Homo-oligomer: A and B are copies of this chain.
Amino acid sequence: MMRLRGPGQCTANTRKPNLKNIVVSRPVRTGAVACRAMLPVGVPISVLTDSYKATHFLQYPKAQKMVAYGEFRQGFNKDKTDTRLVSYGMRYLVETYISRQWTMEDVEMADAFYRTHMAPNHTAFPFPRALFEKFVRENNGFFPVKLETLPEGTCAHVRVPVYQITAVGEYAPLCTFLETILTMIWYPTSVATLSRRARDVVEASFARTSDGGVGSPLVQSKLHDFGFRGCTGVEQSIIGGCAHLLSFTGSDTMSAAFYAQFKLNGGRPVAMSIPATEHSVMTAWPTEAAAMNNMIDHFGTGIYACVMDSYDYAKALSEVLPSVSVHKLSKGGYLVLRPDSGDPTEAVLMALAAAEKVFGTTRNGKGFKVIPGCGVIQGDGIDLPTMEKIALAIEAAGYAADNVSYGMGGGLLQKVNRDTMSFATKLNHIIYEDGRAADIMKQPQTDTGKFSLPGVLAVKRVDGVPTVFPADSGEVAPHENLLRVVYDCGPLAGVWEDFDTVRARVAAEWTALPKTSDNISASLKEKVRQQMALRGKVPALAH
Could you list which residues of chain A lie within 8 angstroms of chain B, going by C-beta atoms? 39-44, 47-56, 58-61, 63, 66, 68, 97, 109, 112-113, 116-122, 125-126, 175-176, 179-181, 183-184, 186-187, 221, 226, 228-236, 238-240, 251-255, 257-259, 261-263, 267, 269, 271-281, 283-287, 289-291, 293-295, 297-299, 301-303, 305, 309-315, 333-334, 339-342, 347, 409-410, 414-415, 417-419, 425-427, 430, 438, 440-447, 450, 452, 535-536, 538-541, 543
20 cross-chain CB contacts under 8 A: A42-B238, A52-B274, A52-B275, A56-B277, A56-B280, A58-B294, A59-B277, A61-B284, A97-B234, A117-B271, A118-B274, A232-B236, A233-B239, A280-B425, A284-B430, A285-B543, A290-B543, A309-B446, A311-B443, A312-B445
Contact A51 B284 (CB under 8 A): no
Complex-state Cα separation, A419 to B118, whole angstroms = 36
Complex-state Cα separation, A283 to B538, whole angstroms = 12
Contact B443 A286 (CB under 8 A): no
Complex-state Cα separation, A415 to B232, whole angstroms = 11
Contact A257 B442 (CB under 8 A): no
Contact B418 A410 (CB under 8 A): yes
Contact of A184 among B229, B277, B444 (CB under 8 A): B229
Complex-state Cα separation, A536 to B133, whole angstroms = 70
Chain B nearest Cβ from A274, distance in angstroms: 5
Complex-state Cα separation, A283 to B426, whole angstroms = 9
Contact B275 A59 (CB under 8 A): yes
Chain B residues contacting A63 (CB-CB under 8 Å) are 284
Complex-state Cα separation, A427 to B284, whole angstroms = 7
Given A49-B254, A276-B52, A231-B184 contact (CB < 8 Å):
yes
Given A51-B252, A281-B59, A410-B417, A116-B269 contact (CB < 8 Å):
yes
Between A58, A60, A122, A425, the greatest number of chain B beta carbons within 10 A of the residue's beta carbon is seen for A122
Between A271, A289, A419, the greatest number of chain B beta carbons within 10 A of the residue's beta carbon is seen for A419
Chain B residues contacting A43 (CB-CB under 8 Å) are 234, 238, 255, 258-259, 263
Contact of A234 among B39, B427, B444, B540 (CB under 8 A): B39
Chain B residues contacting A419 (CB-CB under 8 Å) are 410
Contact A60 B113 (CB under 8 A): no
Contact B119 A52 (CB under 8 A): no
Chain B nearest Cβ from A433, distance in angstroms: 12
Residue of B nearest to A429 (CB): B284
Interchain residue pairs A-B with the least CB separation, the first 8: A40-B40, A342-B446, A51-B273, A341-B447, A280-B427, A55-B275, A235-B235, A183-B229
Chain B residues contacting A299 (CB-CB under 8 Å) are 55, 122
Contact B273 A52 (CB under 8 A): yes
Complex-state Cα separation, A347 to B445, whole angstroms = 12
Contact of A303 among B53, B109, B119, B175 (CB under 8 A): B119
Given A294-B59, A410-B417, A228-B50 contact (CB < 8 Å):
yes
Given A311-B535, A543-B285, A51-B254 contact (CB < 8 Å):
yes
Between A56, A221, A229, the greatest number of chain B beta carbons within 10 A of the residue's beta carbon is seen for A229
Chain B residues contacting A442 (CB-CB under 8 Å) are 279, 283, 310-311
Complex-state Cα separation, A175 to B440, whole angstroms = 57
Residue of B nearest to A442 (CB): B279
Given A303-B120, A341-B446, A113-B280 contact (CB < 8 Å):
no
Chain B residues contacting A535 (CB-CB under 8 Å) are 311
Chain B nearest Cβ from A515, distance in angstroms: 26
Complex-state Cα separation, A56 to B276, whole angstroms = 8
Complex-state Cα separation, A255 to B47, whole angstroms = 6
Contact of A229 among B180, B291, B315 (CB under 8 A): B180
Chain B residues contacting A298 (CB-CB under 8 Å) are 58-59, 126
Complex-state Cα separation, A278 to B57, whole angstroms = 12
With A59-B295, A232-B236 given, name 10 new contacts (CB 8 A). Answer: A47-B257, A50-B228, A61-B290, A117-B271, A119-B302, A280-B425, A284-B440, A286-B438, A290-B540, A414-B417
Contact A252 B52 (CB under 8 A): yes
Contact A235 B41 (CB under 8 A): yes
Contact A234 B48 (CB under 8 A): yes
Contact B51 A536 (CB under 8 A): no
Contact A278 B113 (CB under 8 A): no
Residue of B nearest to A93 (CB): B233
Chain B residues contacting A289 (CB-CB under 8 Å) are 540
Complex-state Cα separation, A289 to B52, whole angstroms = 19
Complex-state Cα separation, A49 to B54, whole angstroms = 37
Complex-state Cα separation, A309 to B444, whole angstroms = 5
Chain B nearest Cβ from A163, distance in angstroms: 13
Chain B residues contacting A340 (CB-CB under 8 Å) are 444
Chain B residues contacting A262 (CB-CB under 8 Å) are 109, 112-113
Contact of A126 among B258, B275, B342 (CB under 8 A): B275
Given A97-B234, A443-B311, A276-B117 contact (CB < 8 Å):
no
Chain B nearest Cβ from A193, distance in angstroms: 14
Contact A311 B445 (CB under 8 A): yes
